[in-house]
Amino acid sequence: MRPPNALYAQSGGVTAVINASACGVIEAARRHPDRIATVIAARNGILGVLSETLVDTSDYRTDQLIGMRNTPGGIFGSCRFDLDDEHDNPAQYQRIFDVLAAHRIGFLFYNGGNGSMHTARQLAESAQRRAYPLTVVGVPKTVDNDILETDCCPGYGSAIKYLATSMREAAIDLASMRSRRGRVFVLEVMGRNAGWLAAGCGLAADRHDAAPHVVLLPEVAFDEAKVLAAVKGCVERLGFCAIAVAEGIRGPDGRPLAQVATDSAGYVQLGGAGAVVAARISASLGYKVHHAIGDYLQRAARHLASATDDAQAHAVGVFAVEAALSGESGVCTAIRRTSSRPYCWHVDTVPLERVANLERTLPREFVREDGLHVSEAFRTWALPLISGECLPGFRDGLPRYWQPRLSEMPRRLPAYSC
Amino acid sequence: MRPPNALYAQSGGVTAVINASACGVIEAARRHPDRIATVIAARNGILGVLSETLVDTSDYRTDQLIGMRNTPGGIFGSCRFDLDDEHDNPAQYQRIFDVLAAHRIGFLFYNGGNGSMHTARQLAESAQRRAYPLTVVGVPKTVDNDILETDCCPGYGSAIKYLATSMREAAIDLASMRSRRGRVFVLEVMGRNAGWLAAGCGLAADRHDAAPHVVLLPEVAFDEAKVLAAVKGCVERLGFCAIAVAEGIRGPDGRPLAQVATDSAGYVQLGGAGAVVAARISASLGYKVHHAIGDYLQRAARHLASATDDAQAHAVGVFAVEAALSGESGVCTAIRRTSSRPYCWHVDTVPLERVANLERTLPREFVREDGLHVSEAFRTWALPLISGECLPGFRDGLPRYWQPRLSEMPRRLPAYSC
């Protein structure tokens, strides 16, 4: 009898190496043709399941999988979409399982962050209730590094390799110039509740007085007087000061310093924390302040991906298949560290309920005592994650990414409106 | 008799490859010990001459010169400082020539942009008037690419390789996501009067509907209705739109779009052109808009330098020495292109007066007919400039840059206040 198919989907904000996980899932599944017939990918995560917009990956040649692995963004598309509770919307779940059944899906590999792991959990539980034979394994990814129970999240290492490099380079530029007024550079990075990305900028500071000189984290209430004093001290010592600012920094009242907009779903778009910090420094200290905003660049910079991160992203995909085939379900793959020096790690699994919809912020021991930088413990923990370069191919001077026109499988069910 | 020394100085905004020019000057001078005793570098351009803050480069080993070449920013420091007219401030010039004489300087290599070439010219003319034997050769550099009489400016190729890569990567991320609302990404790049850097982003658009979809240039008056229509059309076709915005774009009245903007909550924001464009798109079309600001990152991204740019930056330094030794003075080195496909170029010289304080904006034939993108002619011209990768070394996952503590030469003259 033909074995069942596997479904793979990408969800949430994408990363520079999420496609390495896709690649890992596809490659590992191909090694077990007796257990998994083919890997079908959903377009735009669970939305692609609901709309039955599916892609058969069995045609991809090995060189195309390598091209996929070296391309940032979600090759199959991602989404930000929360399923309703099944109790409130049974039709939604019925539709999903109709699609899974129509395509003989027996394995679900859902690649995402905290929220996506909640989706995976909802589907695993629903399958159990309806006795649909579905093995569900989550595959972690997020530049935010805020998934619990894994030592780090694939996508994070590449993001901070890019951010720390950018910080180092911009600060060298800043240091080159000379002017009567002090000079300040502010780099705004992502991170609404967790300061992992801002902390990662701190890796550039490999010696006393190296940039960044100040790191502002959402976990530490923004104390304006204290920050201004630190900036002033740095400028008086060096002539300049480079600062990493998480977009989600909050004042002592717990409210974000800056927010741009709220969409109809109530999702607050943060942004502008860097501009606010820049404006306050300029107004209070009279320095010349430049500010940069990393935005998508920090999660898409595949040209500066970490080889370690790429390897881990691939491994959590491979291991998801192996775990599924060994009978595990309702779990998420996770990175376990056994040693920092030398850096040793392996992949394990963790129950989805210990991960879903939970958020891991920066622990206190990763923040320097004064709250204005990272600690040595953070450096020791984070440095291995940015180790190694793995460049994409280049053509005509630019990275050559694989952007295929995905051919969608014929639909077997009537249309459905999400 | 001991030959005279040469003075090398860096001036104006720095680039990812300006130190390759420094390297070129030092290496070429070392090949002629009978003509140039040593290369002395001024700290922070002409300010270092005025203050007699000088560095002897003769101690640098070959491997250190390579480290210098691979490091962004100005290794000797730069400045933004205009000399007065000699007529108004003869003491300033007297001081400069006192310092030059005290250090037996017979050659001046001044590495900078339009304004810096004016400084070089002022010094060449003053030397002539006072019959001080000084050979002056300018060495061009600027990410802005706005120096006249050279086919391109060293520093520009690396900046646009970085920007076009960033645009491509961010747009892949943008395309990965799916939402009910259209999605827009705005990348703000440098360029107050000239759109060369924004145009460079356009290189990422290597096929129909590839990002960026819109390029906004200072040379083309910002026509809001036209821009919004283009963005709307793109979003309706693709679901998203990526836009490159020069910081200096101007309205039909010729005034910059971005001075200061006020958001819906009444907060005054630091006005960036990208933020203004983003806000107008969001307000008029209701799309979800992200925006990034490149700032220093675009001129410091040595990790993604163009090998062609690095080679040209080095060559204009080498040739400056050769031109000086062959008797030329009061000139600036310049890149001459003899063919685009294959790309052939060599270095030549041009009189300083044809360069100093002049500005080269994007010619009309490099702009697409509708004013909202670059033309094919631009692509043909610009593509060779980003060709080839030349990575710095990496250590602990980050680029290893050479940041020596520069030991300054003992002063021979009394202090002077600039």
B77/A177 Cβ within 8 A: yes
Distance between CA atoms of B280 and B230, rounded to whole angstroms? Answer: 13
In this structure, are strands A39-42 and A331-339 parallel, antiparallel, or unpaired?
unpaired
The length of chain B in residues reads 418
Distance between CA atoms of B388 and B394, rounded to whole angstroms? Answer: 18
In this structure, are strands B331-339 and B135-140 parallel, antiparallel, or unpaired?
parallel
Shortest alpha-carbon distance between residue B375 and chain A (Å): 17
Residue B295 touches chain A, beta carbons under 8 Å: yes
Token duo for residue A391: 């460049």
Pick A170's closest partner by Cβ from B166, B300, B399.
Answer: B300
Tell me the pLDDT of chain B averaged across its residues: 95
Residue B172 touches chain A, beta carbons under 8 Å: yes
Q: Which residues of B touch A77 (CB under 8 A)?
A: 175-178
Distance between CA atoms of A166 and B398, rounded to whole angstroms? Answer: 10
Distance between CA atoms of B209 and B218, rounded to whole angstroms? Answer: 23
- For chain B positions 57-76, those within 8 Å of chain A (CB to CB) are 71-75
Is B49 exposed, middle or buried, given 0-12, 13-18 or 19+ CB atoms closer than 10 A?
buried
Same topology, domains B5-142+305-357+388-399 and B156-300? Answer is yes
**When comparing pLDDT for A418 and A222, which is higher?**
A222
- CATH architecture of the domain B5-142+305-357+388-399 equals 3-Layer(aba) Sandwich (3.40)
For residue A268, give the chain B residue with the closest CA: B288
Distance between CA atoms of A13 and B290, rounded to whole angstroms? Answer: 13
Answer for the pair A271, A259: CB distance below 8 angstroms, yes or no.
Answer: yes
For residue B275, give the chain A residue with the closest CA: A272
Residue A238 touches chain B, beta carbons under 8 Å: no
Specify the pTM: 0.96
Chain-centroid distance of CA A223 in Å reads 28
Chain-centroid distance of CA A292 in Å reads 21
Answer for the pair A74, B176: CB distance below 8 angstroms, yes or no.
Answer: yes
Q: What is the full DSSP assignment across B110-128?
A: EEESHHHHHHHHHHHHHHH
Res. B286: pLDDT tops 60: yes
Res. B206: pLDDT tops 50: yes
Q: Give the per-residue pLDDT at A266.
A: 55
**For A61-83, what is each residue's pLDDT tens digit?**
999 999 999 999 999 999 999 99
- Whether ipTM tops 0.90, in short, is yes
Tell me the pLDDT of chain A averaged across its residues: 95
B388/A178 Cβ within 8 A: no
CATH number of B156-300: 3.40.50.460
**For B367-377, what is each residue's pLDDT tens digit?**
999 999 999 99
Sign of CA dihedral B35, B40, B45, B48: negative
B178/A44 Cβ within 8 A: yes
Provide mean pLDDT across the span A36-55. 97
**DSSP classification of residue A254:** S
Residue B82 touches chain A, beta carbons under 8 Å: no
- Listed residue (A322, A313, A314) closest to A6, CA to CA: A322
Answer for the pair A113, B213: CB distance below 8 angstroms, yes or no.
Answer: no
**For B100-157, what is each residue's pLDDT tens digit?**
999 999 999 999 999 999 999 999 999 999 999 999 999 999 999 999 999 999 999 9
Answer for the pair B177, B203: CB distance below 8 angstroms, yes or no.
Answer: no
**For B251-283, what is each residue's pLDDT tens digit?**
999 888 886 444 444 443 335 899 999 999 999
Distance between CA atoms of B244 and B163, rounded to whole angstroms? Answer: 9
Q: Which residues of A touch B203 (CB under 8 A)?
A: 397-398
Q: Give the per-residue pLDDT at B180.
A: 80
- For chain B positions 380-399, those within 8 Å of chain A (CB to CB) are 383, 385-389, 391, 394, 396-399
For residue B385, give the chain A residue with the closest CA: A397
pLDDT range class, residue A264, cuts 50, 70, 90? low
Backbone angles phi, psi at B365, to 5 degrees: -70, -10
B296/A176 Cβ within 8 A: no
Answer for the pair A158, A15: CB distance below 8 angstroms, yes or no.
Answer: yes
- CATH architecture of the domain A5-154+304-358+389-399 equals 3-Layer(aba) Sandwich (3.40)
- Listed residue (A122, A4, A25) closest to A76, CA to CA: A25
Token duo for residue A268: 């607050």
Sign of CA dihedral B391, B392, B393, B399: negative
**DSSP classification of residue B17:** S
- Listed residue (A26, A34, A38, A25) closest to A105, CA to CA: A38
pLDDT range class, residue A178, cuts 50, 70, 90? confident
Distance between CA atoms of B257 and B236, rounded to whole angstroms? Answer: 26
The length of chain A in residues reads 418
A157-302 has which fold?
Rossmann fold (3.40.50)
**DSSP classification of residue B14:** -
Shortest alpha-carbon distance between residue B16 and chain A (Å): 9
Residues of A with a known catalytic role: 144
Dihedral angle, C-alpha B156, B162, B167, B172, nearest 10 °: 150
**For B209-246, what is each residue's pLDDT tens digit?**
999 999 999 999 999 999 999 999 999 999 999 999 99
pLDDT range class, residue A177, cuts 50, 70, 90? confident
Beta strand spans in B190-249 (E): 214-216, 240-246
Answer for the pair B284, B228: CB distance below 8 angstroms, yes or no.
Answer: yes
Backbone angles phi, psi at A48, to 5 degrees: -70, -30
Shortest alpha-carbon distance between residue B252 and chain A (Å): 27
**For A365-374, what is each residue's pLDDT tens digit?**
999 999 999 9
User: Which residue ranges make up each domain of chain A?
Assistant: 5-154+304-358+389-399, 157-302
Residue B299 touches chain A, beta carbons under 8 Å: yes
pLDDT range class, residue A379, cuts 50, 70, 90? very high
For residue A167, give the chain B residue with the closest CA: B297
Residue B192 touches chain A, beta carbons under 8 Å: no
**DSSP classification of residue B181:** S
Q: Give the per-residue pLDDT at B178.
A: 81
Among residues B88, B144, B209, B295, which one is catalytic? B144
Pick A296's closest partner by Cβ from B44, B290, B388.
Answer: B290
B176/A14 Cβ within 8 A: yes
**For A276-312, what is each residue's pLDDT tens digit?**
999 999 999 999 999 999 999 999 999 999 999 999 9
Q: Identify the H or E element spanning B260.
A: strand B260-262
A279/B270 Cβ within 8 A: yes
Token duo for residue B404: 């020596």
**For B332-364, what is each residue's pLDDT tens digit?**
999 999 999 999 999 999 999 999 999 999 999
Res. A269: pLDDT tops 60: no
Token duo for residue B405: 């503590």
Dihedral angle, C-alpha B300, B305, B308, B310, nearest 10 °: 50
Q: What is the full DSSP assignment across A132-192?
A: ---EEEEEE--TT---TTSSS-TTHHHHHHHHHHHHHHHHHHHHH---SS-EEEEEEE--S
